[in-house]
Amino acid sequence: MKKILFVCHGNICRSPMAEYVMKDLVKKAGLEDQFQIASAATSREEIGNPVYPPARRKLAEHGISCGGHAARQLRNSDYEEYDLLIGMDRANLRNMYRICGGDFNDKMHLLMEYAGRPEQEVADPWYTDDFDATWRDVLAGCQRLLQDLSEQNRPVS
C-alpha cells in the first residue's frame, strides 16, 4: 500500500483539493485498496475547519465530495507513517522539513515535480482567488503522480 500525504499551509484549499482529487483518480482506476491518501497543514491556523467553500465548490463542479474533512497539522510522526509527503509550494516544503526534522529518505516533494514542472508551485487560491488555476495544477500533478506510481508497481516482463 502506498501512503501519500498532501501538505499546504492551512489544509483547507490546496492540500485537501489534492487529497480528494487523488482519491477520485485512484477510485476511478480501481486502485483504492492500494492507496492511503490524506492531507495536512504546516500551520495551526485552520485546525478542525472544513474545506474552504470556494475549494469545496470547485471539487463539486467535478463531482468530487470532500465532506467530513477537518484540517489537521502535520506531525513529526507523519514522516514515518507516509511514503510520500507532497507540498504545494517551497514555503510548505521548508516547514515540512522543520516539523519532520529533515527528509532523510527522499519522501518530500513538490506536487508540480510530478507534472514535469519542478520550478512551478501550486498557487494558493486563498490569496489569488483563482481556484480554476489551482484545480488545473492539482489535477495535472495528481494525474502524473498516479501514472508514475502505477508504472512503478507494474511487473517487469
Asked whether residue 157 is assigned to any structural domain, the reply reads no
- Average pLDDT of the residues in 11-35: 97
Which of helix, strand or coil describes residue 75?
A: coil
Q: Which residues are catalytic?
A: 8, 14, 124
Per the structure, how many domains does the chain have?
1
Q: Which of 92, 124, 135, 132 is nearest to 110 (CA)?
A: 92
Digit-coded pLDDT (tens) for 104-144: 999 999 999 999 999 999 999 999 999 999 999 999 999 99
Digit-coded pLDDT (tens) for 91-101: 999 999 999 99
Asked whether residue 8 is assigned to any structural domain, the reply reads yes
Tell me: pLDDT of 157 over 50: no
Tell me: pLDDT of 156 over 60: no
Mean pLDDT of the chain: 95
**Do residues 20 and 55 touch, judged by C-beta distance below 8 A?**
no
Digit-coded pLDDT (tens) for 40-92: 999 999 999 999 999 999 999 999 999 999 999 999 999 999 999 999 999 99
What's 105's domain CATH number?
A: 3.40.50.2300
Banded model confidence at residue 152, pLDDT cuts 50, 70, 90: confident
Asked whether residue 91 is assigned to any structural domain, the reply reads yes
Asked whether residue 125 is assigned to any structural domain, the reply reads yes
Tell me: pLDDT of 154 over 70: no
Q: Radius of gyration of the chain from Cα atoms? A: 14
Domain enclosing residue 68, as ranges: 2-152
Asked whether residue 55 is assigned to any structural domain, the reply reads yes
Q: How far apart are CA 76 and CA 113, in angstroms?
A: 23
